[in-house]
Amino acid sequence: MVLTFLIYRIANQKLSDIGFSEYNIFRRTNSLILPLLMIGLGVAVPRFVSMDSKRNTFFLTGIIWISISSIIILLTILIGIDFFSFFFYGDIDYKVHIILIGFLVMTFGFHSIIYGFLRGKHKLYFSNIIQVINIGFIPFFVFFITEKVVEIIFLNFILMFSSCIIVSIIILFKFKIKFVKNDFINDSKILLKFGLPRVIGDFALLALLSLPTYIILNLNKNLIFAGDIAYGITLLNLFGAFFSPLSIVLLPEISKFLINKDFNIIKKRFRTFFIVSLLITLILYLIFFFFTDFILTFLLGDNYNISIIKFSQIILSASFGYVLYIILRSFLDAIYFKANNSINLLIILMIYLTLVFIGKNFKFTIDYYLYSYVISLSLLGLITLYQTNIAIKKLK
């Protein structure tokens, strides 16, 4: 998290207003495409590795499927390059950016399999080191090499891809993983049966975390405002990232408790995390709301766009619902084989798009779209809370 703050601060310092907006949109676009490439394996791999610790072939199967998925994504981007360039950046002159984002998303896919496998193995120290290097240090380091956004994306890809190759080789040798056709087929059936139904949900979540940027960009034709909103959503993501380590640990942990029928421990975990997460979120939000200018100056420096203050305050009011979802989704994924989170996310996305459609027809202001976003994420948190409570009460 600290490195993420530093990354955005140095980006704002080194890039122009347009460059900073381009960088924010690049980060949002990367996040939007990633769930399509992951085909649900980001959840499936750690879940099943934790349930069967001797079945190390899940790692190689995941890497192979990410490779296949990457080829499909890259071909799709190349075929529709003009459309994607205009949709994501509002201009067809960003073709190179989009192609490079496609390659970088592929690398994030490999990283997710590595990270998920190590989580499932409960190698949290090793997995966190990989996370810091790939998600924190590399994006931070490239700003000291170049200040051109397209080159920043390219260097991110090269360095992160190299890191993933090295770590993958280490894992293959350490756990003595070899390709066996029957293992690949059996692993694929298990992982894809669980993961594929969750693709829609993963995409719906990342759409919720990305669409406000593109909606404002296409309706107002203002790259600066779109970039500011993208940064506001990044701050919301950081609220979620504050609680993500708990969510990451909970999925394999709850899965293990279910196997051992330790239902009382699950119920205690639910009550504790629900209360504590809301209290911490309230404290963090109040601190940000009353000290917004000071915090943004600390994060971005003195030359940030003034519109970020208002946009970020509105967007972060959605943090209560978003944090509830981040914490409680692991309970639902562990308890149910059915993709309940995906269904919830799809419903919320439809609600948000309906509100956007209404706003477009009545030509409402930017504030309307942001408050529609807050309402949608708040509903997501409440639905997840309700379903988790019901699921845990049924455990006997």
* pLDDT per residue as tens digits for the range 119-137: 889 888 888 899 999 998 9
Q: Compute the average pLDDT of residues 244-248.
A: 74
The count of residues in the chain is 396
Nearest one of 86, 93, 78, 112 to 29, comparing CA atoms: 86
Angle 181-195/41-51 helices, nearest 10 degrees? 120
* Residue 22 maps to a domain: yes
Looking at residue 2, its pLDDT comes to 64
Pair 164, 244 in one domain = no
Nearest one of 6, 2, 3 to 299, comparing CA atoms: 6
- Examine the pLDDT at 202 and tell me if it is beyond 90: no
Longest dimension (CA), the chain: 61
Q: How many domains does the chain have?
A: 2
Looking at residue 305, its pLDDT comes to 83
Pair 315, 215 in one domain = yes
* Residue 201 maps to a domain: no
Pair 239, 385 in one domain = yes
* Residue 84 maps to a domain: yes
What is the spatial distance between Cα 131 and Cα 247, in angstroms, rounded to a whole number? 15
Token pair listed for 315 = 């967007």
Pair 265, 300 in one domain = yes
User: Are 374 and 318 spatial neighbours (Cβ–Cβ below 8 Å)?
Assistant: yes
The band of 260, judged by pLDDT with boundaries at 50, 70 and 90, is confident
Pair 255, 168 in one domain = no
* Residue 238 maps to a domain: yes
Q: Which residue has the tokens 């309307």?
A: 368
What is the spatial distance between Cα 235 and Cα 5, in angstroms, rounded to a whole number? 9
Angle 57-79/95-120 helices, nearest 10 degrees? 170
What is the spatial distance between Cα 38 and Cα 34, in angstroms, rounded to a whole number? 6
What is the spatial distance between Cα 225 and Cα 130, in angstroms, rounded to a whole number? 34
* Residue 364 maps to a domain: yes
Pair 280, 390 in one domain = yes
CB-based burial label for 382 (10 Å; 0-12, 13-18, 19+) = middle
* Percentage, residues of the chain above pLDDT 70: 99
Pair 302, 389 in one domain = yes
Last residue of a domain, one of 196, 218, 244: 196
Pair 213, 112 in one domain = no
Q: Which amino acid is at 279?
A: L
User: Are 378 and 319 spatial neighbours (Cβ–Cβ below 8 Å)?
Assistant: no
User: Are 25 and 227 spatial neighbours (Cβ–Cβ below 8 Å)?
Assistant: yes
Give the count of beta carbons closer than 10 Å to the beta carbon of residue 87.
14
- Examine the pLDDT at 206 and tell me if it is beyond 90: no
Pair 94, 191 in one domain = yes
Nearest one of 212, 192, 226, 252 to 359, comparing CA atoms: 212
Pair 300, 389 in one domain = yes
Looking at residue 264, its pLDDT comes to 84
**Tens digit of pLDDT for each residue in 274-307?**
899 999 999 999 999 999 999 999 888 887 888 8
Nearest one of 331, 341, 238, 247 to 281, comparing CA atoms: 238
CB-based burial label for 38 (10 Å; 0-12, 13-18, 19+) = buried
What is the spatial distance between Cα 184 and Cα 46, in angstroms, rounded to a whole number? 17
* Residue 234 maps to a domain: yes
Last residue of a domain, one of 143, 163, 196: 196
Rounded to a whole number of angstroms, the CA Rg of the chain reads 21
* Residue 204 maps to a domain: no
Pair 300, 337 in one domain = yes
Last residue of a domain, one of 196, 226, 252: 196
* Residue 203 maps to a domain: no
Token pair listed for 303 = 């030359």
Q: Tell me the residue range of the domain where 63 lies.
A: 1-196
Pair 183, 268 in one domain = no
What is the spatial distance between Cα 34 and Cα 198, in angstroms, rounded to a whole number? 13
- Examine the pLDDT at 163 and tell me if it is beyond 90: yes
Token pair listed for 121 = 């193995």
For the question of whether the overall pTM of this predicted structure is more than 0.85, the answer is: no
User: Are 324 and 384 spatial neighbours (Cβ–Cβ below 8 Å)?
Assistant: yes
